[in-house]
Every structure is written in structure tokens, then in C-alpha cells.
């Protein structure tokens, strides 16, 4: 049999898209399905499908030309799809705005035949023609998919981590001190800019002037809600700078605080100020009335994911990207 991959043509293709997507949600994305059932506890399976379909169409207008669905067909039988569209990131360091693979699913009867990889290649060719990079999100427990994406040269770009904050009494170690910083000293501005620049250049070739302008807008978020942001820095007992964290509202949920910047000095002198800085940030998060601390950990960040995991932070998945331009 011959595999054919084509762009959706008719209503039957869309019906297939919604039905296979519903199967994938019930099978591999149980949290999403369970949320539907919590909101509609008396819904039958058919009614849950209609809710899934309605929510998908409310989330994205599939009639727009920039929203593409590629369908795989084997011997005239539809067997998989790939959904790709632009992703408008609100992260200041994300200049690229890549084409985003929102979903890719292969019918279980046809899995193990390389159809998923062929769909990925079609999506990449489409993104490359624009031209654009291509990105996606993969759940941390989906090891086969992660393995496939790495094989296809996707790199982890950022990792969303979060934790419900709890009360704590102390945030200082025996050999260094953590204190709040007023304003933004030039040495710290330089450190934060260097980190920000690396994050931008991970995905895009940008002029220095554009990076600077984005960085200033990034810093300017604190001016919109004065008094809602804090910077904490770690110093040795000899007043040597070790690291700093900038925290404030997340912007996407009133109950969530976010670490917007985390930098370490050139030398930590064998210390581990990162854990204590995060701990101090948790204390502030709780005292400021937030319930959760969130960090979108970029691959260029100084903070290590292993450190956060050891402190009880959850890692639902990974944002991955492949440079095509």
C-alpha cells in the first residue's frame, strides 16, 4: 500500500480529525478528558465528543488559511493527521514565533510504520517554505515521542515548571546572605541582558538593537503594576555577589507568580545560592497572596531543572524547537 499525505479537503477529513483527536485525548491525555467530565459529569461519550469538538473550534478557527491540517491515508483509509499553525508567544525573548505543531496523532492500527515521522517531515517542509522554525510541546512521560523528536533534531527550548508554595521560615545558608535589591544595579542589568540575549539567539538571528529593545520592554513589565515585583540577591559574608532572582505576577493567572529572570554570578565559590534564592522567592510568593510559583525554564537559564525537581517542582513536559532558517 502507498502512503498519501494531503492537506484536509472536506468535512469528512475534519470529522476524522476530531474523532481521532478525541481518542487520543481519552487514551493519552487523560487530564484533559477528565476535566471535561468534571465540568459535565452526566455527559455520555457522544456528548463528551461534541464538547471536545466545540472547545477545539472555540480555541482555533480552522477555516483560517494559516491553520493547516495534513491527513495521512494508507490505501484510501485515513490513518493519522498533523495540525500546524502559527504560535503567538508572549515571551519577550521569543522573536521567532515558530509554526507550532499543536497535535499529531496516528491511528493505533497503523502505528509503528513511520507514519508519524512522515507527517512531521511534511509539517517541517511547510514551515520551511514560509520560512519559519517549527516547535511543539511534548508531555514528559511520552518517551517514544521525545525520542522521535530528538532523532529528528528537535532541541528542548524551554521547560514549564511549577509548585504550590508552602510556608517556610528561613532562606539563608550559613555562608551567604539573601537580601532584597532596590532598583536594578548596572552589573545586574548586564547579567540579565546577557542571559536574555542568549535566549533570543537560541531561536532567531537578531540584530543587537532589536534584542536591546525587547529587553527594555521585558524590564518594563514591572512599571505596569508598581510594587508587585521583587528582586532578591545572594551575597557571601564578604559581600561577593552570587546570584539574583526577579519575581512578580505571571500575567496569565491571578493566583500564579512567575520567576521572570534568574542569574548567577561568575563564581559561586562552591556555594549553592540557587536553592536558597528559589526558597526565598517561595516565601515572598506566599506572603504576596499567590498560591503557585511558575518558571518557564529556558535552556539558556542558569537555573538547573534537577535543582527544581529536587525542591518539589513538577515538570509536565517540554517545549521543543527545530531551526529551519
- pLDDT tens-digit readout, 124-137: 999 999 999 999 99
Cell reading at 23: 481518542
Domain range for 10 is 3-132
Q: d(Cα 17, Cα 311) in Å, to the nearest integer?
A: 40
- pLDDT tens-digit readout, 147-156: 889 999 999 9
Residue 230 has pLDDT above 70, yes or no: yes
The mean per-residue pLDDT over the stretch 310-317 comes to 92
User: Which letter, b or e, does each residue of 11-25 get, where b requires 16 or more Cβ atoms within 10 Å of its Cβ?
Assistant: eebbebbbebbbebb
Do 227 and 270 share a domain, yes or no? yes
Select from 110, 132, 154 the last residue of a domain. 132
Q: d(Cα 273, Cα 263) in Å, to the nearest integer?
A: 10
Task: Report the CATH number that the domain containing residue 44 is assigned in CATH.
Answer: 3.40.630.30
Do 105 and 191 share a domain, yes or no? no
321 within a domain of the structure (yes/no)? no
Do 205 and 278 share a domain, yes or no? yes
- Banded pLDDT at 170 (limits 50, 70, 90): low
pLDDT score at 29: 82
Do 61 and 173 share a domain, yes or no? no
Q: 255: number of CA atoms within 13 Å, CB side?
A: 6
Residue 267 has pLDDT above 70, yes or no: no
Select from 82, 117, 132 the last residue of a domain. 132
Sheet bearing 134-139, strands edge to edge = 3-7, 68-74, 77-86, 99-106, 134-139, 317-322, 155-164, 292-298, 256-264, 241-249, 230-236, 176-180
Do 205 and 286 share a domain, yes or no? yes
- Banded pLDDT at 243 (limits 50, 70, 90): very high
- Banded pLDDT at 269 (limits 50, 70, 90): very low
Q: d(Cα 247, Cα 30) in Å, to the nearest integer?
A: 32
pLDDT score at 99: 94
238 within a domain of the structure (yes/no)? yes
DSSP state of 111: T
pLDDT score at 25: 92
Asked if residue 321 lies in contact with residue 155, where contact means CB atoms within 8 angstroms, the answer is yes
DSSP state of 10: S
Do 198 and 285 share a domain, yes or no? yes
pTM comes to: 0.84
Residue bearing cell 499567590? 290
The residues, ordered by sequence, that sit 6+ positions from 264 with a Cβ below 8 Å of its Cβ are 242, 243, 273, 274, 302
Do 20 and 126 share a domain, yes or no? yes
Q: d(Cα 295, Cα 272) in Å, to the nearest integer?
A: 19
For 274, phi and psi rounded to 5 degrees?
Answer: -60, -45
Do 75 and 218 share a domain, yes or no? no
pLDDT score at 93: 72
Residue 235 has pLDDT above 50, yes or no: yes
- Banded pLDDT at 53 (limits 50, 70, 90): very high
Q: 120-124, 180-184, 298-302: which has the minimum mean pLDDT?
A: 298-302
240 within a domain of the structure (yes/no)? yes
- pLDDT tens-digit readout, 60-113: 999 999 999 999 999 999 999 999 999 877 677 777 778 999 999 999 999 999
Do 51 and 177 share a domain, yes or no? no
Angle between helix 30-39 and 45-59 (nearest 10): 110
- 209 CB neighbour count, 10 Å cutoff: 8
Asked if residue 154 lies in contact with residue 299, where contact means CB atoms within 8 angstroms, the answer is no
- pLDDT tens-digit readout, 57-74: 999 999 999 999 999 999
Q: Based on the structure, what is the number of domains in the chain? A: 2
137 within a domain of the structure (yes/no)? no
Instruction: Report which of 322, 300, 325 is spatially closest to residue 159, judged by C-alpha positions.
Output: 300
Do 15 and 125 share a domain, yes or no? yes
Q: d(Cα 3, Cα 115) in Å, to the nearest integer?
A: 8
- Banded pLDDT at 167 (limits 50, 70, 90): low
- 229 CB neighbour count, 10 Å cutoff: 18
pLDDT score at 159: 93
Amino acid at each position: 500500500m502507498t502512503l498519501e499525505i494531503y492537506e484536509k479537503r472536506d468535512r469528512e477529513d475534519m470529522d476524522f480529525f476530531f474523532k481521532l483527536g478525541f481518542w487520543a485525548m481519552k487514551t493519552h491525555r487523560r487530564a484533559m478528558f477528565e476535566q471535561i467530565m468534571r465540568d459535565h459529569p452526566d455527559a455520555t461519550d457522544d456528548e463528551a465528543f461534541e464538547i471536545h469538538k466545540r472547545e477545539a473550534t472555540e480555541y482555533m478557527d480552522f477555516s483560517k488559511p494559516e491553520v493547516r491540517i495534513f491527513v495521512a491515508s494508507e490505501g484510501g483509509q485515513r490513518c493519522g493527521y498533523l495540525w500546524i499553525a502559527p504560535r503567538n508567544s508572549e515571551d519577550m525573548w521569543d522573536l521567532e514565533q515558530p509554526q507550532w505543531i499543536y497535535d499529531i496523532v496516528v491511528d493505533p492500527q497503523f502505528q509503528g510504520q513511520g507514519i508519524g515521522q512522515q507527517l512531521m517531515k511534511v509539517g517541517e517542509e511547510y514551515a520551511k517554505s514560509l520560512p519559519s522554525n517549527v516547535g511543539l510541546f511534548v508531555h514528559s512521560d511520552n518517551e517514544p515521542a521525545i525520542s522521535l523528536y530528538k532523532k529528528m533534531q528537535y532541541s528542548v527550548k524551554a521547560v514549564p515548571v511549577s509548585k504550590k508554595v508552602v510556608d517556610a521560615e528561613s532562606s539563608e545558608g550559613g555562608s551567604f546572605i539573601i537580601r532584597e535589591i532596590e532598583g536594578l544595579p548596572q552589573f545586574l542589568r548586564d547579567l540579565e541582558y546577557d542571559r536574555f540575549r542568549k535566549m533570543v539567539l537560541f531561536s532567531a538571528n537578531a540584530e543587537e538593537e532589536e534584542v536591546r529593545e525587547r529587553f527594555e520592554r521585558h524590564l518594563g513589565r514591572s512599571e505596569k503594576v508598581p510594587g508587585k515585583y521583587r528582586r532578591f540577591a545572594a551575597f557571601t559574608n564578604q559581600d561577593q555577589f552570587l546570584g539574583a532572582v526577579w519575581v512578580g505576577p505571571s500575567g496569565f493567572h491571578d493566583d500564579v507568580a512567575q520567576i521572570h529572570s534568574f542569574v548567577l554570578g561568575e563564581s559561586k565559590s562552591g556555594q549553592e545560592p540557587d536553592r536558597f534564592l528559589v526558597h526565598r522567592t517561595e516565601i515572598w510568593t506566599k506572603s504576596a497572596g499567590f498560591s503557585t510559583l511558575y518558571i518557564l525554564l529556558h535552556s539558556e537559564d542558569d537555573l538547573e531543572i534537577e535543582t527544581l525537581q529536587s525542591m518539589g517542582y513538577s515538570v509536565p513536559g517540554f517545549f521543543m524547537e527545530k531551526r529551519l532558517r
